[in-house]
Structure 1
């Protein structure tokens, strides 16, 4: 693995800082002072009022705690295992590490720009930065032109590429349908609460949707970059979709109103992503482990 030392240092720092950040999000306690107020947009907002996310809405705080749980008990162990495998020369380990780093980059970008300012803001910034540079180093370590040889020729590129195109289309339609009424009617988007803009929708429409669409097209055409991007999209998708599924469950448990379409579509995407990962891994050439 190229840049082995630099990547190892960055990943270890990510593991340490994210463990602390997740533990603080889950276990930071204090006197509960749940309150409700009217935002400048006119929307009535219920704020959690305790712990690290005390100034966040009940909805976002519920999502944060669910995300912390998945990061702590799934993403961090997965990244630790994939780093060990990647250091030993495993191609699959490098793919898993890249995909997991994509999840950490996305997660802590959202914490930095969406969550209400709290004492861990600078930690979120460090995690976003560390994840970005580790992710870039991982990507530059792959021999992209040689990527197709790392997978079996029978890899069902149309199925995997079609899944990514489907994901890109559905997420695009889902978020645009949420945004369009506010643009056409010059109104505030539903669910904005006391936040200033739609950060997640912006990140998805700006990065996730076009990357998934490009990745799907390139893979169907069996272009080298398509193999790498598809592996990252699918692996990042599983961790991210698992976190979103957990968010939906936790929001429901906390009495937060949930969009019925989102409550169904994201868990379904999660299951489909797991199936695609199994197909992907089964069609990785054994010889690739030594590269």
Structure 2
């Protein structure tokens, strides 16, 4: 990556990390941050804030440091981490009730968006597909990404379609006092189609497939860990007794990590 662009990306990333540390600390440890949200949303927010503070922030710094040293694996970890933050803070901005962190939510969203745009623009200029050997299991990884997309489509449609047919509101919306579920919007409109596009491109061995697939695998790993944190906080706050779903997310993270390893070991 050219030096000037890397310097800009470094500044944006450091600012992003600072804002992420602040909002995560307040969300996790300062009472009243989520006082206008439902008990379920507040517990999930705290669970995600803890994961962001103690896992995502260190991962962001480490991937940036190694990317500055021209480590190619770090590029994909950085991209997946930035995409996770971008995804998450769309939800914070549009799904969390107004609180004292609102402007920082907006700042974090903006910094992650422009960091991701700059990063993807520079990565797209490189011959990334030439970084890899001939033994990348593109078919297996592509099929796995397709399965993940299908799984979440089915999960959300199970919530949405009956509500549409019955002219009612999905429980995930009504129970949390939302206008719509921002996760439904992001997944159905952007994230899940992105997984499908990455699958098609990877199966065709298109150079963009080699960029998007590992980034989505990193994103899936981090998101699964964050979801596990949310489920644990729901249990600790006696809001949900069902802890078994956490094991599903852990399994998803492990499988995604295995495929990521199989992908990146060919660099």
The match for 1:45 is none
- 2:223 is the alignment partner of 1:221: no
Contact 2:12–2:111 (CA<8 Å) still a contact in 1?
yes
- 2:60 is the alignment partner of 1:79: yes
* 1:270-281 correspondence runs (5 A): 270-281=253-264
The match for 2:8 is 6
Report the alpha carbon displacement of residue 218 of structure 1 after superposing the two structures with TM.
1.1
The match for 1:208 is 191
TM-score (norm 1): 0.86
Change (3 A) 1:145 1:80: closer
* 1:1-291 correspondence runs (5 A): 1-2=1-2, 3-29=5-31, 51-143=32-124, 146-192=127-173, 193=175, 194-257=177-240, 263=246, 265-284=248-267
Q: Which digits, 9 at most, give the CA deviation of each residue in 1:30-51, with x for residues without a partner? A: xxxxxxxxxxxxxxxxxxxxx2
TM-score (norm 2): 0.94
Q: CA RMSD in A?
A: 1.6
**Higher-helix-fraction structure:** 2
Contact 1:144–1:224 (CA<8 Å) still a contact in 2?
no
In the alignment, structure 2 segments of 5+ residues that lack a partner are: none
- Which is further off, 70-79 or 135-144? 135-144
Report the alpha carbon displacement of residue 281 of structure 1 after superposing the two structures with TM.
2.2
Contact 2:142–2:203 (CA<8 Å) still a contact in 1?
yes
Report the alpha carbon displacement of residue 261 of structure 1 after superposing the two structures with TM.
8.4
Report the alpha carbon displacement of residue 255 of structure 1 after superposing the two structures with TM.
1.9
Report the alpha carbon displacement of residue 223 of structure 1 after superposing the two structures with TM.
1.0
Larger Rg: 1
Report the alpha carbon displacement of residue 202 of structure 1 after superposing the two structures with TM.
1.0
Distance between the aligned counterparts of 1:268 and 1:133, measured in 2? 32
Distance between the aligned counterparts of 2:36 and 2:92, measured in 1? 13
Report the alpha carbon displacement of residue 78 of structure 1 after superposing the two structures with TM.
0.6
Q: Which digits, 9 at most, give the CA deviation of each residue in 1:174-207, with x for residues without a partner? A: 1011100110000111132211111111111111
SS at match of 2:179: coil
Distance between the aligned counterparts of 2:131 and 2:216, measured in 1? 17
Distance between the aligned counterparts of 2:212 and 2:264, measured in 1? 14
SS at match of 1:191: helix
Distance between the aligned counterparts of 1:250 and 1:157, measured in 2? 36
Contact 1:103–1:239 (CA<8 Å) still a contact in 2?
yes
